[in-house]
Amino acid sequence: MERNNQLQRQVALMRQSLFDQGYLDEQFVQLEELQDDTNPNFVEEVVTLYYRDSARLIASIEQALDKSPLDFNKLDSYMHQFKGSSSSIGGRKVKTECSQFREYCRTGNGEGCIRTFQQVKREYSTLRKKLEAYFQLARQAGPRGAASRST
Amino acid sequence: MASPSTRIDDGHDMDSVNSGLMREKLSVLVVDNDALVRKVHEKIVSKLKVAKQVQIQTATNGKEALDLHLSGSSFDIILMDMQMPIMDGTEATKELRAMGVESMIVGVTSADARADKEAFTEAGLDQCLAKPLTADKIKSLVETLEKNK
Q: Does A126 touch chain B (CB under 8 A)?
A: no
| Count of residues in chain B | 149
Domains in chain B: how many in total?
1
Residue B20 has pLDDT above 70, yes or no: no
* Among chain A residues, CA nearest to B132: A88
* Among chain A residues, CA nearest to B110: A84
B30 neighbourhood in chain A, CB within 8 Å: none
Determine the distance in angstroms separating the CA of A79 from the nearest CA of chain B, rounded to an integer. Answer: 12
Q: Is A128 left (phi over 0), alpha (psi -120 to 50) or beta?
A: alpha
CB–CB of A80 and B34 under 8 A?
no
**pLDDT band for position B16 (cuts 50, 70, 90):** very low
Residue B18 in domain:
no
* Three-state SS letters, chain A: CHHHHHHHHHHHHHHHHHHHCCCECHHHHHHHHHCECCECCHHHHHHHHHHHHHHHHHHHHHHHHCCCCCCHHHHHHHHHHHHHHHHHCCEHHHHHHHHHHHHHHHCCCHHHHHHHHHHHHHHHHHHHHHHHHHHHHHHHHCCCCCCCCCC
pLDDT, tens only, A44-97: 999 999 999 999 999 999 999 999 999 999 999 999 899 989 999 999 999 999
**pLDDT band for position B58 (cuts 50, 70, 90):** very high
Residue B87 in domain:
yes
Residue B36 in domain:
yes
Determine the distance in angstroms separating the CA of B43 from the nearest CA of chain A, rounded to an integer. Answer: 7
Query: Dihedral sign, CA of B145, B52, B89, B36?
Result: positive
CATH number at residue B104: 3.40.50.2300
**pLDDT band for position A151 (cuts 50, 70, 90):** low
Partner-chain residue, chosen from B34, B43, B135, that has the shortest CB–CB distance to A84: B34
Closest CA to B65 of B38, B26, B46, B43: B38
Residue B39 in domain:
yes
pLDDT at position A143:
77
**pLDDT band for position B110 (cuts 50, 70, 90):** confident
Look up the pTM and report it: 0.84
CB–CB of B36 and A88 under 8 A?
yes
Calculate mean pLDDT across residues B132-140: 89
Q: In 3-state terms, what secondary structure has residue B149?
A: coil
Calculate mean pLDDT across residues B78-100: 96
Q: Which CA distances in Å does A60 have to A76, B1, B86, B122? A: 11, 20, 19, 32
Residue B6 in domain:
no
Question: How many contacts does A have with B, using Cβ atoms within 8 A?
Answer: 49
Which residues constitute the domain of residue B47?
23-147
ipTM for this model: 0.82
Provide the 8-state DSSP code for B54. Answer: E
Give me the residues paired with residue B109 across strands: B130
B40 neighbourhood in chain A, CB within 8 Å: 31, 34, 46, 88
Cβ neighbours of residue A66 under 8 Å, at least 6 residues apart?
Answer: none
Alpha-carbon span A111 to A25, nearest angstrom = 29
Residue B90 in domain:
yes
Share of chain B above pLDDT 90, in %: 62
Partner-chain residue, chosen from A27, A33, A42, that has the shortest CB–CB distance to B132: A27
Residue B57 in domain:
yes
Residue B54 in domain:
yes
**Range among B5-19, B49-63, B102-116 rated most confident:** B49-63
A89 neighbourhood in chain B, CB within 8 Å: 36
CB–CB of A30 and B134 under 8 A?
yes
Q: Does A55 touch chain B (CB under 8 A)?
A: no
